[in-house]
Structure 1
Amino acid sequence: MSGERDLRRLLSGMRPELNPGRYVFTFTEAGALPGVPPGVTPVVTVAEPEGLTLVVRQEEADATGLPYAYVAGWITLRVHSALDAVGLTAAVARELATAGLSCNVVAGYHHDHLFVPHERATEAVSLLEALARRSR
């Protein structure tokens, strides 16, 4: 099944869902720890020359001593967006930026995932729901 490409349909059908928990961005340095440390189940991994970036539950990072600075809420946009769709990330980022919210976006095969400041995650969902209503 191919994903949606029409921006209006993407926005009106995004159905933002806040996943429970607190998530952090952490890393393992190149050459220091190969791969994912035991006891850690990342929801996102990104390989970079400097090492492996991991997005994990805060309690996993705390339990394994992984360093982090950013504590996020994880929002999943439930619309099945095509990877080559144009404008969804920009529209969402603009909406959140207008409210002074940072947003780290990760595209999955089926859905887009947003990591926003944990203390404002519920507010971010409300803003995205309002954007969806305006787009109908």
Structure 2
Amino acid sequence: MAGQTDLDTLLSDLRPTRRPGEFVYVTTSRPIDAEARIVEREAVTLILERAVADREGLEYEGSYAWLTLEVHSSLEAVGLTAAVSRTLADAGVPCNMLAGYYHDHALVPSDRADEALAALRRLSELPRGGR
């Protein structure tokens, strides 16, 4: 099933949710099951549940809430990441965006999760053209 590409539809159907738990960014060469893995020139970055990082004795800075945009967005959609990051920036909430095949995700500081969810819900409720 192809994902949605129409920006108005994507934003109206955003349905942001919070994944349970707290998450952290680490770099390590150890083989650890991760929620996400990003290979960069300098190192491999893992996004782990905070409890896993603590159990493994890994250092990290800050903890993050994992927000999922439940709308099924296409990898070819234009403007969704920009609209979400702009909304969070306007609210003063830092975010790190990730894209999966079905959904987009935003990691925000754990202590700002409720604020971020509220801002994204407001974005989703805005009137749109053509509807």
- Cα shift readout 1:13-35 (whole Å, capped 9, x = no counterpart): 0100001111001111xxxx25x
Give the counterpart letter for 2:48 in structure 1: V
- Cα shift readout 1:95-123 (whole Å, capped 9, x = no counterpart): 00011111000000000011001001011
What is the aligned-residue identity percentage? 46
Runs of 4+ aligned structure 1 residues displaced above 4 Å come to none
TM-score by length of 2: 0.93
SS at match of 1:69: coil
Give the counterpart letter for 1:57 in structure 2: E
SS at match of 1:113: strand
| CA RMSD between the two structures | 1.1
Q: Mind listing any 5+ residue stretches in structure 2 that lack a counterpart? A: none
Q: 1:43 aligns with which of 31, 35, 39?
A: 35
1:93 paired with 2:85, answer yes
TM-score by length of 1: 0.90
- Cα shift readout 1:37-80 (whole Å, capped 9, x = no counterpart): 3xxx3111001122210011101001101111031000000000
- After superposition, the Cα gap between the structure-2 partners of 1:78 and 1:45, relative to the gap in structure 1 and judged at 3 Å, is same
1:25 paired with 2:19, answer no
Counting matched residue pairs gives 128
SS at match of 1:20: strand
Please give the residue correspondences for 1:113-124 in structure 2 after superposition, counting only pairs within 5 Å: 113-124=105-116
SS at match of 1:22: strand
Please give the residue correspondences for 1:8-19 in structure 2 after superposition, counting only pairs within 5 Å: 8-19=8-19
Q: Mind listing any 5+ residue stretches in structure 1 that lack a counterpart? A: none
Alpha-carbon distance in structure 2 between the residues aligned to 1:108 and 1:24: 18
- 1:135 Cα shift? 4.2
SS at match of 1:55: strand
Give the counterpart letter for 2:103 in structure 1: H
2:56 paired residue number: 64
Alpha-carbon distance in structure 2 between the residues aligned to 1:65 and 1:15: 35
Alpha-carbon distance in structure 2 between the residues aligned to 1:27 and 1:121: 24
- After superposition, the Cα gap between the structure-2 partners of 1:51 and 1:85, relative to the gap in structure 1 and judged at 3 Å, is same
Please give the residue correspondences for 1:95-110 in structure 2 after superposition, counting only pairs within 5 Å: 95-110=87-102
